[in-house]
Amino acid sequence: MKIATWNVNSLNVRLGHVIEWLKANPVDALCLQELKLEDAKFPTAAFDEIGYNAIFNGQKTYNGVAILSKARPEDVVKDMADFADEQKRLIAATIDGVRVVCAYVVNGQSLDSEKYQYKMQWLTGLRSYMQRTIAEYGDVALLGDYNIAPEDRDVHDPKAWEGQVLVSPPEREHFQALVALGLTDSFRMFEQPEKSFTWWDYRMNGFKRNLGLRIDHILVTKTLAERVTSSVIDVEPRKLERPSDHTPIITEVRS
């Protein structure tokens, strides 16, 4: 099966891109982040027309996550049970026997911001949530916008980014804590081109100059990692008119 994740930065604006991408890339599950729309406005029919089920956890203006899947999603859970959160950042379901967790990690804004503290707390909550989820389900994949570049090679200019949000040591420690739960960064299981990124700033011609970061990830439990056959970033959607600033990443798991 193929599983993918894409921060679409407004599903209203990007619906056409997502539909066309799914037609060209008929993955078994696609996790979306930053829907920026309330559940009542979710375009369920548009996905139904192309053979996809949709589950979603949205809110007006900000955040919002969804999972699109060919198979019917089972045991749908929204939010983290043990972490009270006004913001809609997590949804999970079992698809083809795999527990798929779709997360939109807090950005954090800057290290001296209250939002950074919220990010740290949220990541601590996610760690507990994932620990429990792995214990309960076994085969688990955590897909989404982590808002963390795990290593310097995931940053176009590590010197320029040093000490900034998205690359700070405490954030990277949170990423490694997820790995320590028994999760593997599926993208790094394979030889990859240098300067592989999933996000580029809209400003300064960031994409054309490849001034990006790798902050969207697909982590899988060991049992799944043994069956992973590929993991790739698809930069094509970033080349379209009015693109999202993020682009999809796809991991394939042998059945």
Catalytic residues: 104, 145
DSSP string covering 93-119, please?
A: EEETTEEEEEEE----SSTTSHHHHHH
- Alpha-carbon distance 16 to 132, whole Å? 36
Structure tokens at 238: 């970033």
CB of 151 to DNA, least distance (A): 16
- Alpha-carbon distance 16 to 160, whole Å? 35
Q: Is 60 in the site for DNA (CB under 7 A)?
A: yes
Query: Phi and psi for 152 in degrees, rounded to 5?
Result: -60, -30
**Total number of residues binding DNA (CB under 7 A)?**
30
Q: Is 9 in the site for DNA (CB under 7 A)?
A: yes
- Alpha-carbon distance 52 to 56, whole Å? 13
Smallest Cα–Cα separation from 191: which of 152, 219, 231, 218?
Answer: 231
Q: Is 161 in the site for DNA (CB under 7 A)?
A: no
Among 204, 209, 223, 226, binds DNA (CB under 7 A): 204
Q: Is 215 in the site for DNA (CB under 7 A)?
A: yes
Stretch that binds DNA, among 24-32, 101-109, 135-143, 176-184 (CB under 7 A): 101-109
- Please identify which residue in the block is written with the tokens 């894409």: 6
Smallest Cα–Cα separation from 108: which of 150, 161, 166?
Answer: 166
How many helices and strands (H and E) does the chain possess?
Answer: 6, 14
Among 3, 4, 6, 7, binds DNA (CB under 7 A): 7
Q: Is 196 in the site for DNA (CB under 7 A)?
A: no
95 or 166: CB nearest DNA: 166
CB of 252 to DNA, least distance (A): 25
Q: Is 209 in the site for DNA (CB under 7 A)?
A: no
Among 72, 202, 210, 222, binds DNA (CB under 7 A): 202
Q: Which residues bind DNA (CB under 7 A)?
A: 7, 9-10, 12-13, 34, 36-37, 60-62, 106-107, 109-110, 115, 145, 147, 165-166, 199, 201-204, 213, 215, 242, 245-246
